[in-house]
Structure formats: structure tokens, C-alpha cells
Amino acid sequence: MAAAAASEPVDLSTIPISPDGPLDENKKPNSDAATGEEQITVFHDKDNFNVKHPLMHKWTLWFTKPPSGKGDNWNDLLKEVITFNSVEEFWGVYNNIAPTSELALKSDYHLFKEGVRPEWEDVQNKHGGKWSYQFKEKRNVPIDELWLHVMLAAIGETLEEEGDGELMGVVVNVRKGFYRIGAWTRTIGKSIPGGGDGDVAGGKGRSTDKGKEVLMNIGRKFKEVLKLPATEVVEFSGHTDSAHSGSTRAKAKYTV
């Protein structure tokens, strides 16, 4: 692959859902004014492109494989797959991994900002929580499309406002009776205590009301991405509450 040309981050809402989707055959590659080199994007040639569109953050894809039933350690099941920082690299990863609909039961995909492990105990997650929704009618759920849209919303920075600094990552769980998609946040709507080096958060110094407003906004956008009707409820729960309850189904702090 040729070296990537410098480019500004792009709004992923302007990007087609798939580089394999319909293209404008009359639209030809542009030329770099300085070098005269033809600028070929992934939408002109998905294999031989020389322009990358950088993301605002680096993201890491993780995978949880199903337990064997022999007392597996969580760290042995959780595998780091790859880190990427451009639109093109995202599509390269997405087009070469198994669709969610084909994963074995008790599998998970996690897409988190680089340096954040998809665990409650991670220093950047321990004061946070997550918005989540369970799809119980698995046969009728377009889970691959929904998970793709959630990932695009995350890496395209459209689930929160600029400067919020709340979104840590997104998760999809494959279970016998349901699919569940979640969006993890750094806080539960109030300032993080202590404020040590590992706990510098978007929520530092926010009032409780402002913190709740930020989280509710993320919840509403998350619900829109999931294409849920107004009658369905998306719940937010804190990781600490989930840990104490011994379940990912802790009592909801907020709902939208």
C-alpha cells in the first residue's frame, strides 16, 4: 500500500456504509496539487489506495472467546485483535472478521479507545457505567447492521458532543437468548473523586446536573443509532453497581 497522504479527520456520517457499496463511477481520483500524484481513496480502489482519513482517536478491537467450561480465566478469554486510526483501516478490519451473527454463543466484540481495556477494573472505566439494550428476538434482529452502525458512531465521534470525553468504547454480546449492545462511559454523571493521573476524565469538575445531561444525550443518540422505537427503553447502570450485584443487569440509574 502506498504511503498515506496527510488529511484532516472526517465526519464518518458522510462516508458510505461500506466501501463495497455503490460508487459514483464518473467520479475520478483527484490529484495532489503539490506533487501531481493521483489521490486514490478506499472508495476508488479498496485495495490500492494512497489516501487515509485519520480518526480523532486510535481504537482497539478486542474479542472474548467462549469459555471452555474448565475454569477459564477472563484474561485468557479476552484477546486484543488490532489497533487502527483511520477510516480505511477500520474497513480493512471489519471486512476481515467474522460477522456478529456468526459468532459462537458467549462471544463478545469490544471496540475501545486505545489504552482502555474493556473491563470494569480498568482505571479509566472504574468510575463509569454503560448504556445498554438487549435484543431478545434474535431471528428478527439485523445485528450485523446495528453493530456496524454503533461502531461507526463511536469512531466517528457522533455519540457525544466535542469535549465531553465520556465514551470509552462499545460492546456487543452474543448470548443464547439475546444480543446485547452497550456503550461504556467514563463517569456515571458526576465528577470523578481524586482526579489522579489515571483518572483525568471528561467529567472532572462537572456539576451533577451537567454530568447527567451529558450522559442522557449519549443515551438518546445511542438509542437513535440502534433504531429503537420510542416505546423501547435503553438503560444506564454503573459498573460498580453491576459488580456488587454480580450481574451486568444492575438496577438502572437512568433510562431513555
**What pLDDT score was predicted for residue 48?**
72
What strands, in cross-sheet order, belong to the sheet with 167-174? 78-86, 54-64, 107-113, 167-174, 179-185, 129-135, 235-238, 254-255
Q: Is the pTM of this model over 0.85?
A: no
**What pLDDT score was predicted for residue 137?**
87
The string of pLDDT tens digits covering residues 149-171 is 999 999 999 999 999 999 999 99
- From the number of C-beta atoms within 10 Å of its C-beta (0-12, 13-18, 19+), residue 128 rates as buried
Residues (pLDDT < 50) of the chain are: 1-27, 195-201
What is the rounded CA–CA span in Å between residue 146 and residue 227? Answer: 8
What is the rounded CA–CA span in Å between residue 108 and residue 230? Answer: 27
Contact 181, 169 (CB under 8 A): no
**What pLDDT score was predicted for residue 88?**
86
In CATH terms, the superfamily for domain 12-28+36-255 is RNA Cap, Translation Initiation Factor Eif4e (3.30.760.10)
**What pLDDT score was predicted for residue 70?**
72
